[in-house]
Amino acid sequence: MEKPDLKFAVVSDPHGYLPKEHWGLYNMRRAICMMAAKNVDAFLMAGDLSDRGDQLVYALYGELYRKEFRRNPPIQIACAGNHEFWVSENRKTDTVLKDFSAGIGEREENPVHKIVRGYDFISVSPFDGLSFSPEACASLKKMLTGVSKRNPGKPIFVLTHFPPANTVLGSVLTGSPWDEGQRQLRKILQDYPQVISFSGHTHAPVEDERCIWQGEFTAVAVGSLSYGMTNEKALNVISDILPFAREVTQAVYAEVFPDRVEIHRYNVTDGQEIKVDRVWSVELPYRPEKAAYTAARAEMRTAPEFAPGTPLLIRYDFGYAYLAFAGAKHDDFVREYWIDIAEHEPDGGWRKAGTYNYIADFYRLKKNRESWQFLKLPEGVLSPGKCYRFTVTPVESFGKAGKPLELIAEMPNTFTFRKTPAVYPQE
């Protein structure tokens, strides 16, 4: 078996709190133990180590790192995230990076440049939780220029909390406070095709192939050790947090060979590799014109399909109505279901009542994924005694839609619909 030149792990977003039994820190320990078993050369932490800038959390992380990596500790590489700056209800900037660096046992530098087995790693932290200081940007550019001249064609691994703008899933600029930091990164990194960027922040499940992107350089989103999120709005998502979000506890592991970098995805809860048959592989030296993970992937995707004869059922339960159906199939996964509702009018026509998006359960642990979908219809849309047409369309992650199921049903006069919003299960 071919032996890699270098092995490293990347984790992000445990959002730690005291005590040490906190969920995020528990998953950090799982990730460290998993990567210790792989004897990694470097361990990268992409920010939001604490949820409120708690120095005691940094101390616990350092204790955990030393304990679990005691036999052969890897090189530590880390950056601060936006939550490091959210102390109590306020945001501060004056001592955050100093406290963060001291807490994890590192010198206060920004950016940080380390060489591991002949490969260059650079981490850079925001100076205010939102964007990067002019000095950090200038230093990052200087470092990248120097490394690229010294080792042309060799990958440069860049660690940040925010992803570069308009690259991986969750990095589209939306007017959020950290847009400027994402813009700064993209503007700098786009001049260095050798860069492989690793970032956290989005909490996007790494099952989604949009978590790797290639253009002027390569960008990878590494998921979260605390909970999963999506910035693509859906009716069954609360404040961007996915249903059963606790099952999204993920990390990536990379092996570097002379001609490629292989990136493996893991869920630390069950210790299983995610999509073993779809390991991400970045060819070296990187040439953008030969990139595999570009927007062109969308054109090659197939549409999800329901099995022939799949029934679409309606269920009434405690004042709520649900659509029930066996899930559609896809060679990757179904990401969403779109439900269109139309009300039958006296003249025989149909009046559109709304279109509603539901996130599917592709990110859940395999043992917990449902073969049937039960989607709760929105409150305040349906009325007793009226007739409706329901259309359910399966959609894969790049937006390709399959053929829909359709049901026409009259709501029973005897059923009373609740008018209070129902909370979807987040636990």
Q: What is the pLDDT of residues 264-323, one digit of tens each?
A: 999 999 999 999 999 999 999 999 999 999 999 999 999 999 999 999 999 998 899 999
pLDDT at 95: 87
pLDDT for 95-106, tens place per residue? 899 999 999 999
pLDDT score recorded for residue 178: 86
Q: How far apart are CA 371 and CA 276, in angstroms?
A: 21
> What's the pLDDT at 92?
66
pLDDT tens profile 174-204: 898 889 999 999 999 999 999 999 999 999 9
Q: Average of pLDDT values for 215-222?
A: 98
CA triple 33-35-36, angle to 5 deg: 60
The architecture in CATH of the region 6-299 reads 4-Layer Sandwich (3.60)
Peptide bond into 285 cis (omega under 30): yes
Cα–Cα distance measured from residue 13 to residue 16, given in angstroms and rounded to the nearest whole number: 8
Matching residue, tokens 């059963």: 244
Side by side, the strands of the sheet bearing 313-317 are: 313-317, 320-326, 372-376
Domain boundaries, the chain: 6-299, 313-410
Give the C-alpha separation, 104 to 62, whole Å: 5
High-pLDDT (> 90) share of the chain, %: 89
The predicted pLDDT at position 91 comes to 60
E strand spans, 61-131: 75-78, 86-87, 90-91, 112-116, 119-123
Q: Tell me, what's the pLDDT at 204?
A: 98
Coil/strand/helix, residue 229: strand
Question: Residue 321: what pLDDT?
Answer: 95
pLDDT value for 336? 98
Asked whether 316 and 412 are in contact (CB, 8 A), the reply is yes
CA 264 to chain centre: 14
In 167-270, beta strands by DSSP E: 195-199, 212-214, 218-221, 250-257, 260-267
Tell me the CATH class for 313-410: mainly beta
pLDDT bucket at 333, cuts 50 / 70 / 90: very high
* Cβ atoms within 10 Å of 145's Cβ, excluding its own: 12
Give the per-residue pLDDT at 232: 86
Greater confidence, 421 or 229? 229
Per-residue confidence (pLDDT) for residue 87, from 0 to 100 = 80
* pLDDT at res. 233: 87
pLDDT at 427 over 80: no
pLDDT in tens, 147-177: 999 999 999 999 999 999 999 999 999 898 8
State pLDDT tens for residues 112-139: 999 999 999 999 999 989 999 999 999 9
pTM for this predicted structure: 0.96
pLDDT at 90 over 80: no
Please write the tens of the pLDDT for every residue from 3-52. Answer: 999 999 999 999 999 988 999 999 999 999 999 999 999 999 999 999 99
What is the residue-averaged pLDDT of the chain? 95
When pLDDT is averaged across residues 338-353 and rounded to a whole number, the result is: 95
Q: What percent of the chain has pLDDT over 70?
A: 98
